[in-house]
Amino acid sequence: MKISEILKKKATISFEVFPPKSKNANLASLYKTIVELADLNPDFISVTYGAAGSEKGRTAEIASKIKNDFGIESVAHLTCISSKKEEVLEVCQELRDHHVENILALRGDYPKNKEVKEEELDFHYGSDLVEFIHENFDGEFCVSGACYPDVHEEARNLKEDLLALKKKVDAGAEYLITQIFYDNQYYYRLVKEARKLGINVPIIAGIMPVTNAKSLKNNAKMCGCSVPYELSTMVEKYYEYPEAIKEIGINYATHQIIDLITNGVDGIHIYTMNRPEIAKSIFTGIPTVLRELNHA
Protein backbone atom coordinates (compact mmCIF):
# COMPACT_ATOMS: atom_id res chain seq x y z
CA MET A 1 0.00 0.00 0.00
CA LYS A 2 1.16 3.52 -0.69
CA ILE A 3 1.95 5.59 2.41
CA SER A 4 0.05 8.52 0.86
CA GLU A 5 -3.10 6.37 1.02
CA ILE A 6 -2.57 5.66 4.73
CA LEU A 7 -1.93 9.35 5.40
CA LYS A 8 -5.28 10.25 3.84
CA LYS A 9 -6.96 8.33 6.66
CA LYS A 10 -4.80 8.90 9.72
CA ALA A 11 -1.53 10.11 11.17
CA THR A 12 1.20 7.49 10.94
CA ILE A 13 3.70 5.94 13.32
CA SER A 14 6.87 4.69 11.67
CA PHE A 15 10.42 3.57 12.32
CA GLU A 16 13.69 3.81 10.47
CA VAL A 17 16.37 1.12 10.29
CA PHE A 18 19.69 0.97 8.49
CA PRO A 19 21.45 -1.92 6.70
CA PRO A 20 24.78 -3.23 7.99
CA LYS A 21 27.99 -1.69 6.67
CA SER A 22 29.38 -4.82 5.09
CA LYS A 23 28.06 -6.31 1.86
CA ASN A 24 28.11 -9.87 3.19
CA ALA A 25 26.97 -9.22 6.75
CA ASN A 26 24.36 -11.53 8.16
CA LEU A 27 20.99 -9.79 8.43
CA ALA A 28 19.72 -11.96 11.31
CA SER A 29 20.24 -9.32 13.97
CA LEU A 30 18.52 -6.65 11.85
CA TYR A 31 15.57 -8.97 11.27
CA LYS A 32 15.36 -9.62 15.02
CA THR A 33 15.15 -5.83 15.46
CA ILE A 34 12.35 -5.70 12.90
CA VAL A 35 10.44 -8.48 14.68
CA GLU A 36 10.60 -6.41 17.88
CA LEU A 37 9.55 -3.23 16.08
CA ALA A 38 6.69 -5.12 14.43
CA ASP A 39 5.24 -5.77 17.91
CA LEU A 40 4.67 -2.00 18.16
CA ASN A 41 2.41 -2.15 15.11
CA PRO A 42 3.97 0.61 12.97
CA ASP A 43 2.32 1.89 9.79
CA PHE A 44 5.64 1.54 7.99
CA ILE A 45 9.34 0.95 8.45
CA SER A 46 11.85 2.79 6.28
CA VAL A 47 15.31 1.55 5.31
CA THR A 48 18.18 3.98 4.75
CA TYR A 49 20.37 3.97 1.64
CA GLY A 50 24.10 4.33 2.11
CA ALA A 51 23.66 6.53 5.20
CA ALA A 52 26.72 6.65 7.50
CA GLY A 53 28.55 4.14 5.31
CA SER A 54 25.86 1.44 5.31
CA GLU A 55 25.69 -0.91 2.33
CA LYS A 56 23.48 0.57 -0.42
CA GLY A 57 22.97 -2.72 -2.18
CA ARG A 58 20.96 -4.17 0.71
CA THR A 59 18.27 -1.52 1.04
CA ALA A 60 15.99 -3.09 -1.57
CA GLU A 61 16.51 -6.57 -0.11
CA ILE A 62 15.59 -5.41 3.41
CA ALA A 63 12.66 -3.26 2.29
CA SER A 64 11.36 -6.27 0.37
CA LYS A 65 11.69 -8.56 3.39
CA ILE A 66 9.85 -6.06 5.64
CA LYS A 67 6.99 -5.86 3.16
CA ASN A 68 6.74 -9.44 1.93
CA ASP A 69 7.80 -11.53 4.95
CA PHE A 70 6.90 -9.32 7.91
CA GLY A 71 3.76 -7.91 6.29
CA ILE A 72 4.61 -4.29 7.18
CA GLU A 73 4.64 -1.50 4.61
CA SER A 74 8.20 -0.48 3.80
CA VAL A 75 9.77 2.67 2.44
CA ALA A 76 13.11 2.37 0.63
CA HIS A 77 15.34 5.44 0.88
CA LEU A 78 17.19 6.23 -2.35
CA THR A 79 19.88 8.86 -2.91
CA CYS A 80 20.96 10.22 -6.30
CA ILE A 81 23.92 12.61 -6.09
CA SER A 82 26.51 9.90 -6.75
CA SER A 83 24.40 7.84 -9.13
CA LYS A 84 23.82 7.65 -12.84
CA LYS A 85 20.28 7.38 -14.21
CA GLU A 86 20.81 3.70 -15.16
CA GLU A 87 21.69 2.78 -11.56
CA VAL A 88 18.62 4.56 -10.22
CA LEU A 89 16.46 2.79 -12.80
CA GLU A 90 17.90 -0.55 -11.72
CA VAL A 91 17.17 0.04 -8.03
CA CYS A 92 13.62 1.20 -8.79
CA GLN A 93 13.02 -1.84 -11.00
CA GLU A 94 14.27 -4.12 -8.23
CA LEU A 95 11.91 -2.43 -5.75
CA ARG A 96 9.01 -2.73 -8.16
CA ASP A 97 9.78 -6.42 -8.77
CA HIS A 98 9.57 -6.96 -5.02
CA HIS A 99 6.31 -5.00 -4.69
CA VAL A 100 7.88 -2.22 -2.62
CA GLU A 101 5.65 0.75 -3.44
CA ASN A 102 7.26 3.56 -1.46
CA ILE A 103 10.48 5.49 -2.07
CA LEU A 104 11.96 8.32 0.00
CA ALA A 105 13.80 10.27 -2.71
CA LEU A 106 16.91 12.06 -1.47
CA ARG A 107 19.80 13.92 -2.95
CA GLY A 108 22.28 12.48 -0.45
CA ASP A 109 25.40 14.24 0.73
CA TYR A 110 28.19 15.20 -1.64
CA PRO A 111 30.89 12.51 -1.48
CA LYS A 112 33.80 13.45 0.75
CA ASN A 113 37.35 13.11 -0.57
CA LYS A 114 36.11 13.12 -4.16
CA GLU A 115 35.85 16.08 -6.46
CA VAL A 116 32.38 16.47 -7.95
CA LYS A 117 32.00 18.05 -11.37
CA GLU A 118 28.53 19.58 -11.45
CA GLU A 119 28.28 19.22 -15.23
CA GLU A 120 28.80 15.45 -15.00
CA LEU A 121 26.02 14.85 -12.50
CA ASP A 122 22.80 13.17 -13.62
CA PHE A 123 20.96 14.55 -10.59
CA HIS A 124 21.53 17.76 -8.65
CA TYR A 125 18.69 17.84 -6.14
CA GLY A 126 16.21 15.58 -4.42
CA SER A 127 13.50 17.11 -6.62
CA ASP A 128 15.31 15.80 -9.75
CA LEU A 129 15.01 12.27 -8.36
CA VAL A 130 11.34 12.72 -7.47
CA GLU A 131 10.67 13.86 -11.04
CA PHE A 132 12.77 11.08 -12.59
CA ILE A 133 10.92 8.34 -10.68
CA HIS A 134 7.53 9.70 -11.69
CA GLU A 135 8.62 10.05 -15.34
CA ASN A 136 9.87 6.48 -15.52
CA PHE A 137 7.41 4.67 -13.26
CA ASP A 138 4.21 6.55 -13.83
CA GLY A 139 2.10 6.16 -10.68
CA GLU A 140 3.83 2.95 -9.56
CA PHE A 141 5.53 4.45 -6.52
CA CYS A 142 4.49 6.79 -3.77
CA VAL A 143 7.46 9.16 -3.64
CA SER A 144 8.32 11.26 -0.60
CA GLY A 145 11.09 13.71 0.31
CA ALA A 146 13.06 15.14 3.21
CA CYS A 147 12.71 18.54 4.88
CA TYR A 148 14.58 20.44 7.57
CA PRO A 149 13.05 22.19 10.62
CA ASP A 150 16.45 23.68 11.50
CA VAL A 151 17.02 24.59 7.79
CA HIS A 152 19.32 22.51 5.56
CA GLU A 153 22.95 23.45 6.15
CA GLU A 154 23.52 24.51 2.53
CA ALA A 155 20.51 26.85 2.39
CA ARG A 156 21.03 30.50 3.27
CA ASN A 157 17.77 30.74 5.18
CA LEU A 158 14.40 29.09 5.77
CA LYS A 159 12.71 30.90 2.90
CA GLU A 160 15.31 29.70 0.38
CA ASP A 161 15.09 26.14 1.75
CA LEU A 162 11.29 26.17 1.56
CA LEU A 163 11.25 27.50 -2.01
CA ALA A 164 13.44 24.52 -2.90
CA LEU A 165 11.12 22.24 -0.93
CA LYS A 166 8.17 23.57 -2.93
CA LYS A 167 9.93 22.42 -6.12
CA LYS A 168 10.26 18.95 -4.62
CA VAL A 169 6.56 18.82 -3.77
CA ASP A 170 5.58 20.24 -7.18
CA ALA A 171 7.72 17.49 -8.74
CA GLY A 172 5.51 14.94 -6.99
CA ALA A 173 6.70 14.35 -3.39
CA GLU A 174 3.47 13.19 -1.74
CA TYR A 175 4.57 13.61 1.86
CA LEU A 176 7.69 14.73 3.69
CA ILE A 177 9.72 13.40 6.61
CA THR A 178 11.72 15.87 8.66
CA GLN A 179 15.33 15.70 9.67
CA ILE A 180 15.72 15.13 13.41
CA PHE A 181 15.01 18.13 15.62
CA TYR A 182 15.11 18.60 19.37
CA ASP A 183 13.08 21.80 19.54
CA ASN A 184 9.46 21.37 18.45
CA GLN A 185 9.14 25.09 17.75
CA TYR A 186 11.29 24.61 14.65
CA TYR A 187 8.90 21.92 13.39
CA TYR A 188 5.89 24.20 13.95
CA ARG A 189 7.66 27.06 12.18
CA LEU A 190 8.48 24.82 9.22
CA VAL A 191 4.88 23.63 8.89
CA LYS A 192 3.45 27.14 9.22
CA GLU A 193 5.80 28.68 6.64
CA ALA A 194 5.48 25.71 4.28
CA ARG A 195 1.68 26.02 4.28
CA LYS A 196 1.97 29.73 3.45
CA LEU A 197 3.92 28.75 0.32
CA GLY A 198 1.28 26.22 -0.70
CA ILE A 199 3.16 23.12 0.46
CA ASN A 200 0.14 21.19 1.62
CA VAL A 201 1.38 17.58 1.80
CA PRO A 202 1.66 15.80 5.19
CA ILE A 203 4.86 16.59 7.11
CA ILE A 204 5.91 13.68 9.33
CA ALA A 205 8.06 14.61 12.34
CA GLY A 206 11.39 12.75 12.64
CA ILE A 207 12.36 12.07 16.25
CA MET A 208 15.65 10.60 17.40
CA PRO A 209 15.84 9.84 21.13
CA VAL A 210 19.20 10.71 22.67
CA THR A 211 20.87 7.49 23.78
CA ASN A 212 24.25 8.78 24.90
CA ALA A 213 25.99 12.10 25.38
CA LYS A 214 28.41 11.64 22.50
CA SER A 215 25.68 10.73 20.01
CA LEU A 216 23.78 13.91 20.87
CA LYS A 217 26.76 16.04 19.88
CA ASN A 218 27.47 13.96 16.77
CA ASN A 219 23.87 13.92 15.59
CA ALA A 220 23.43 17.63 16.17
CA LYS A 221 26.56 18.29 14.13
CA MET A 222 25.82 15.78 11.39
CA CYS A 223 22.17 16.79 11.00
CA GLY A 224 22.69 20.50 11.61
CA CYS A 225 20.09 20.70 14.36
CA SER A 226 20.20 22.87 17.43
CA VAL A 227 20.14 21.43 20.95
CA PRO A 228 17.91 23.33 23.39
CA TYR A 229 19.57 24.64 26.54
CA GLU A 230 17.33 22.45 28.71
CA LEU A 231 18.41 19.23 26.97
CA SER A 232 22.11 20.08 26.76
CA THR A 233 22.14 21.00 30.47
CA MET A 234 20.59 17.68 31.48
CA VAL A 235 22.97 15.71 29.28
CA GLU A 236 26.01 17.66 30.55
CA LYS A 237 25.00 17.07 34.17
CA TYR A 238 24.68 13.29 33.79
CA TYR A 239 27.52 12.88 31.28
CA GLU A 240 29.19 10.19 33.41
CA TYR A 241 25.98 8.17 33.86
CA PRO A 242 25.01 6.42 30.62
CA GLU A 243 21.84 4.89 32.07
CA ALA A 244 20.68 8.34 33.24
CA ILE A 245 21.32 9.80 29.76
CA LYS A 246 19.21 7.04 28.25
CA GLU A 247 16.35 7.78 30.64
CA ILE A 248 16.63 11.49 29.89
CA GLY A 249 16.67 10.80 26.14
CA ILE A 250 13.60 8.59 26.26
CA ASN A 251 11.70 11.05 28.45
CA TYR A 252 12.70 14.02 26.32
CA ALA A 253 11.63 12.29 23.09
CA THR A 254 8.38 11.16 24.74
CA HIS A 255 7.64 14.74 25.77
CA GLN A 256 8.37 15.95 22.23
CA ILE A 257 5.98 13.34 20.83
CA ILE A 258 3.16 14.19 23.26
CA ASP A 259 3.50 17.87 22.37
CA LEU A 260 3.51 17.11 18.63
CA ILE A 261 0.44 14.89 18.88
CA THR A 262 -1.34 17.53 20.96
CA ASN A 263 -0.67 19.99 18.16
CA GLY A 264 -1.99 17.72 15.41
CA VAL A 265 1.19 16.34 13.83
CA ASP A 266 0.77 14.36 10.58
CA GLY A 267 2.91 11.47 11.78
CA ILE A 268 5.78 10.43 14.02
CA HIS A 269 8.85 8.78 12.50
CA ILE A 270 11.32 7.40 15.04
CA TYR A 271 14.94 7.07 14.01
CA THR A 272 15.46 3.83 15.93
CA MET A 273 19.15 3.40 15.10
CA ASN A 274 18.36 -0.34 15.06
CA ARG A 275 17.66 -0.25 18.80
CA PRO A 276 14.09 -1.46 19.30
CA GLU A 277 14.27 -1.17 23.09
CA ILE A 278 14.34 2.63 22.81
CA ALA A 279 11.19 2.73 20.69
CA LYS A 280 9.60 0.21 23.05
CA SER A 281 10.33 2.36 26.09
CA ILE A 282 8.62 5.33 24.44
CA PHE A 283 5.62 3.22 23.43
CA THR A 284 5.10 1.67 26.84
CA GLY A 285 5.15 5.16 28.39
CA ILE A 286 2.33 6.60 26.25
CA PRO A 287 0.24 3.81 24.71
CA THR A 288 -3.03 5.74 24.87
CA VAL A 289 -1.60 8.96 23.43
CA LEU A 290 -0.13 7.00 20.52
CA ARG A 291 -3.39 5.15 19.93
CA GLU A 292 -5.12 8.51 19.69
CA LEU A 293 -2.59 9.68 17.09
CA ASN A 294 -2.98 6.53 15.06
CA HIS A 295 -6.76 6.72 14.99
CA ALA A 296 -7.01 10.47 14.43
Residues 231-260 that bind ligand FAD (CB under 6 A): none
Minimal distance in Å, beta carbon 152 to ligand FAD? Answer: 4
- The single-letter code of the amino acid at 222 is M
The answer to the question of residue 155 lying near ligand FAD (CB under 6 A) is yes
Angle at 228 between CA 222 and CA 233, to 5 degrees: 105
Comparison of 152 and 275: residue with beta carbon closer to ligand FAD? 152
DSSP β-bridge partners for residue 74: 45
Please state, in angstroms and rounded to a whole number, the distance separating the CA atoms of residues 242 and 192.
37
C-alpha pair distances (Å), 251 with each of 225, 258, 276, 286, 291: 19, 10, 16, 11, 18
Minimal distance in Å, beta carbon 238 to ligand FAD? Answer: 28
The DSSP-derived string for 44-100 is: EEEE-SSGGG--GGGHHHHHHHHHHTS---EEEEEE-TT--HHHHHHHHHHHHHTT-
DSSP β-bridge partners for residue 144: 104
The answer to the question of residue 167 lying near ligand FAD (CB under 6 A) is yes
| Alpha helices (runs of H) in the chain, residue ranges in sequence order | 3-9, 28-38, 59-68, 85-97, 126-136, 158-170, 184-196, 213-223, 229-237, 242-262, 276-285, 287-295
Residues 193-212 that bind ligand FAD (CB under 6 A): 206
The answer to the question of residue 179 lying near ligand FAD (CB under 6 A) is yes
- Say if residues 261 and 293 touch (Cβ distance below 8 Å): yes
The answer to the question of residue 58 lying near ligand FAD (CB under 6 A) is no
Residues 26-55 that bind ligand FAD (CB under 6 A): 48-51
Question: Residue from 72, 177, 199, 270 that binds ligand FAD (CB under 6 A)?
Answer: 177
Comparison of 33 and 48: residue with beta carbon closer to ligand FAD? 48
Comparison of 206 and 267: residue with beta carbon closer to ligand FAD? 206
> Out of 16, 73, 131, 174, which one is annotated catalytic?
16
The answer to the question of residue 146 lying near ligand FAD (CB under 6 A) is yes
Question: Residue from 14, 33, 127, 272 that binds ligand FAD (CB under 6 A)?
Answer: 127
Give the residue among 69, 81, 88, 66 at the shortest CA–CA distance from 15.
66
The answer to the question of residue 106 lying near ligand FAD (CB under 6 A) is yes
The answer to the question of residue 77 lying near ligand FAD (CB under 6 A) is yes
- Say if residues 203 and 190 touch (Cβ distance below 8 Å): yes
Q: Which stretch binds ligand FAD (CB under 6 A): 26-34, 89-97, 121-129, 193-201?
A: 121-129
Burial (0-12, 13-18, 19+ Cβ within 10 Å), 169: buried
118 is catalytic: no
- The single-letter code of the amino acid at 277 is E
Comparison of 125 and 141: residue with beta carbon closer to ligand FAD? 125
Q: Which stretch binds ligand FAD (CB under 6 A): 103-111, 211-219, 234-242, 243-251?
A: 103-111
The answer to the question of residue 152 lying near ligand FAD (CB under 6 A) is yes
Could you list the residues that contact ligand FAD (CB under 6 A)? 48-51, 77, 79, 104, 106-109, 125-127, 146, 152, 154-155, 161, 164, 167-168, 177, 179, 206
- Which active-site residues does the annotation give? 16
